[in-house]
Amino acid sequence: MLVHDAIFPIRGKHDLGQSDTNNFGGSRGHGGQDMFAACGTPLVAERPGVVQFEATQDRAGNYVVLQDATGQSYAYVHMRDRALVKKGARVQAGQRIGYVGETGRASGCHLHFEMWTAPGWYSGGDAVDPLPELRRWDSFS
Ligand SMILES: [Zn+2]
């Protein structure tokens, strides 16, 4: 049996790394990876952890931030509804946490996904390019 360290966060048809504007960095200082998928496509925790933040905001729309045991965190932004998990809750890899949406400043249904080094999202960590990890997870899940 193969054991992997993470599960791809979007459980349905999606794109990945299709254009520079969807990717991390670039002239507009994009802080994550945009992955387009139909609104309502389930989103799951990509690895076990704890809900670090869960809220709704003008630009981000409905978002949730998960933190793993190493202190790295992972943000899911523009979700259709408020997350299915609340701040402080434990999540298992593959647990459903919400659905793809286009809330906040988003055009088109997509997941904006961020990865931050410990101690996490806007808590002293740094945003890093999640694309290599996402490609790896996508290859086996
Ligand atoms: Zn984005």
Is 127 inside a domain boundary?
A: yes
Spatial contact of 127 and 26, defined as CB atoms under 8 Å apart:
no
- What is the CA(106)–ligand 1 centre distance, in A? 8
Is 37 inside a domain boundary?
A: yes
- What is the CA(32)–ligand 1 centre distance, in A? 6
DSSP 101: B
Is 14 inside a domain boundary?
A: no
What is the rounded CA–CA span in Å between residue 10 and residue 115? Answer: 15
> What average pLDDT is seen over the chain?
94
- What is the CA(3)–ligand 1 centre distance, in A? 30
pLDDT at 87: 98
Number of domains in the chain: 1
Domain that holds residue 67: 32-140
Is 1 inside a domain boundary?
A: no
Is 90 inside a domain boundary?
A: yes
pLDDT at 26: 62
Is 27 inside a domain boundary?
A: no
Is 9 inside a domain boundary?
A: no
pLDDT tens-digit series, residues 29-54 = 799 999 999 999 999 999 999 999 99
- What is the CA(112)–ligand 1 centre distance, in A? 4
**What's 70's domain CATH number?**
2.70.70.10
How many Cα atoms sit within 13 Å of 62 on the Cβ side? Answer: 18
- What is the CA(113)–ligand 1 centre distance, in A? 7
**Residue range 10-20: mean pLDDT, rounded:** 92
CA 6, distance to chain mean position in Å, is 12
**Residue range 68-83: mean pLDDT, rounded:** 97
Burial of 126 (0-12, 13-18, 19+ CB in 10 A): exposed
- What is the CA(22)–ligand 1 centre distance, in A? 7
Determine the 3-state secondary structure of 117 from DSSP: coil
DSSP secondary structure string for all residues of 16-73: -S-SGGGSSBTTTTB-SEEEE--TT-EEE-SSSEEEEEEEEETTTEEEEEEE-TTS-E
The encoded tokens of residue 58 equal: 């003008």
Question: Is the predicted pLDDT of residue 1 greater than 50, yes or no?
Answer: no
Give the number of other Cβ atoms within 10 Å of residue 65's Cβ: 24
Is 56 inside a domain boundary?
A: yes
pLDDT at 14: 97
- What is the CA(70)–ligand 1 centre distance, in A? 24
